[in-house]
Amino acid sequence: MNNRLKIGLRPRPKIGLGGIAPEAAAAKLLSPMASPASRPSVMQAPVLVLNATFEPINVTAVRRALVLMLKGVAQAEETNHTQVHSTSKAIQVPSVIRLLSYRHIPQQSRALSRKNILLRDRNTCQFCAAAFPASELTLDHVLPRSRGGRSSWENLVACCYACNNRKGDRTPEEAGLKLQRRPRPFTLHTSRQLMRLIGHRDEKWRKYLFY
């Protein structure tokens, strides 16, 4: 399946920084003294994104959060104990950022993609209930495409390769498999639950996610 499959939503606009690509702008903040092994983990750590009204709306990576802050689009509401450095200043790595202008968020704001299906299903095979790294999972059409099954939230599930091979071009019932839960689109409840799962180790997120 095309991993970049969309469902009629406008693509997220790229935010530049003085003619420099966002990724390059954020990368310049990394200290030359930082160990190479630590760089990816710092810049890819999750950051909770709040709307201007303090409503949680998304989770992004530190790299993008820093770009939004440098552009004046967002400000840090919570930080952690790590810093990233440029030649002239140090910036605390954000844990929670807030957009400075209110953004209207459509009720269904997530594109249909492999990444989002795996997020929804928590990297768990929906047939054998075992959790796997993303690289060891594929997507399965519950009703096979050969029988008119669509590539939709309601017909796609995360699946390990063993169950995918066992199911083949059949329905779960025909293959003797049982779905763990009926696949559904993302909802506000689903999104909040995922935010809680992603940030369960960060106490700073709790007051914004209404535990």
Q: Tens of pLDDT along 2-55?
A: 444 444 444 444 433 333 344 444 444 444 444 444 455 788 888 999 999 998
Q: Is 203 a residue whose pLDDT tops 90?
A: no
Q: Which is nearest to 29 in space by CA: 81, 89, 98? A: 89
- Please give the helix or strand (H or E) that residue 190 lies within, else none: helix 188-198
- Provide the total of helices (H) and of strands (E) in the chain, helices listed first: 8, 6
| Residue 140 predicted with pLDDT over 80 | yes
> pLDDT at position 78, please?
95
Classify each residue of 164-192 as buried b or exposed e, where b means 16 or more C-beta atoms within 10 Å of its C-beta: eeebeeeebeeeebeeeeebeebeeeebe
- Please report which helix (H) or strand (E) contains residue 158, including its range: strand 156-160
Q: Which residues pair with 131 in a beta bridge?
A: 124
In whole angstroms, give the CA distance from residue 42 to residue 82: 8
User: Identity (one letter) of the amino acid at 138?
Assistant: T
Residue in 105, 83, 100 with CA at minimum distance from that of residue 12:
105
Mean pLDDT of 136-146: 96
Q: Which pLDDT value is given to residue 108?
A: 55
Average pLDDT on 85-114 reads 83
Percentage above 70 pLDDT, the chain = 72
Q: Is 31 exposed, middle or buried (0-12, 13-18, 19+ CB in 10 A)?
A: middle
Q: H or E segment at 118? A: helix 114-120
Q: Which helix (H) or strand (E) holds 47?
A: strand 46-50
Segment 97-112 mean pLDDT: 81
What domains lie within the chain, and their CATH numbers? 22-107+190-209 (no CATH), 114-175 (1.10.30.50)
Distance CA 199, CA 201 (A): 5
What mean pLDDT is predicted for residues 158-175?
Answer: 96
Average pLDDT, the chain: 79
More confident residue, 4 or 110: 110
Which has more pLDDT, 104 or 27?
104
Percent of the chain with pLDDT over 90: 45
Please tell me the predicted confidence (pLDDT) of residue 4: 45
For position 113, what pLDDT does the model report?
Answer: 86
